[in-house]
């Protein structure tokens, strides 16, 4: 009798669907939330990219010279439809632009604004081929690093060997790299299921050339010497 009941129980499939769903549900839920999270990140990057493209075009015009802060504030207004930007509530464009670059960055890093913050970068170069390249130097010891007092062309004007170009919008005909990094809290909890990070950063970058609104001459590179620290 007992053996018959055991065999009957083995053939009984009632409730198996519930067990199968319990096994599949966590995986399925993670995939759905993960897809929504990725989709939202792509949407955020698209919104930011559109704002950066417009801001870069406006900055390259003669009317955009000296208006970099106002244009950056316009980017904040553009993305405010996607994320809550507390800076727009506490600062008008005038008060925002009265701050120095350091003060504006400190403002975004403050506790009340760090949840949704954005970092802008403008760097100007002589030509498109200079973007991302290091300043030329005489590599006397063939180690690939400018050191031991080796001479280099200080195109950035900061007295240190590094990437070509200088911070800022530059003048007429300058090639400008304009980028922004948006740091925000994820709105879908998929990261909790896979041990991910609570915050996400998306970036948008564009490279354009300023309009030739004046006969701007490229500054002559000064010859400087690298540090002597390794001697």
Give the separation between CA 60 and CA 52, rounded to whole angstroms.
12
Give the separation between CA 139 and CA 149, rounded to whole angstroms.
10
- CB contact set of 222 (below 8 Å; sequence gap of 6+): 153, 154, 157
* Span 89-113, pLDDT tens digits: 888 899 988 988 888 878 877 756 6
In degrees and rounded to multiples of 5, residue 144 shows phi and psi of 75, 5
Q: The tokens of 71 are what?
A: 């244009």
The verdict on pTM exceeding 0.75 is no
Is residue 176 a contact partner of residue 59, using CB atoms and an 8 Å limit?
Answer: yes
* Span 109-131, pLDDT tens digits: 775 666 777 888 899 988 888 88
């Amino acid at each position: 009798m007992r053996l018959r009941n055991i065999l009957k129980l083995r053939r009984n499939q009632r409730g198996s669907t519930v067990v199968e769903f319990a096994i599949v549900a966590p995986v399925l839920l993670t995939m759905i939330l993960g897809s929504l999270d990725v989709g939202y990140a792509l949407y955020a990057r698209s919104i930011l990219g559109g704002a950066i493209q417009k801001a870069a075009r406006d900055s390259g015009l003669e009317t955009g010279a000296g208006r970099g802060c106002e244009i950056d504030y316009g980017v904040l207004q553009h993305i405010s439809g996607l994320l809550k930007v507390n800076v727009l509530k506490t600062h008008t464009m005038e008060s925002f632009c009265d701050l120095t670059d350091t003060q504006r960055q400190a403002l975004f890093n403050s506790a009340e604004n760090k949840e949704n913050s954005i970092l802008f970068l403008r760097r100007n170069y002589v030509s498109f081929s200079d973007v991302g390249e290091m300043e030329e130097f005489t590599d006397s010891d063939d180690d690939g690093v400018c050191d031991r007092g080796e001479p280099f062309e200080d195109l950035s004007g900061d007295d240190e060997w590094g990437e070509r170009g200088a911070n800022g919008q530059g003048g007429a005909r300058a090639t400008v790299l304009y980028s922004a990094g948006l740091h925000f809290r994820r709105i879908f909890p998929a990261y909790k299921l896979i041990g991910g990070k609570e915050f996400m950063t998306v970036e948008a970058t564009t490279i354009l050339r300023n309009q030739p609104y004046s006969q701007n001459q490229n500054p002559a590179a000064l010859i400087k010497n690298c540090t002597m620290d390794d001697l």
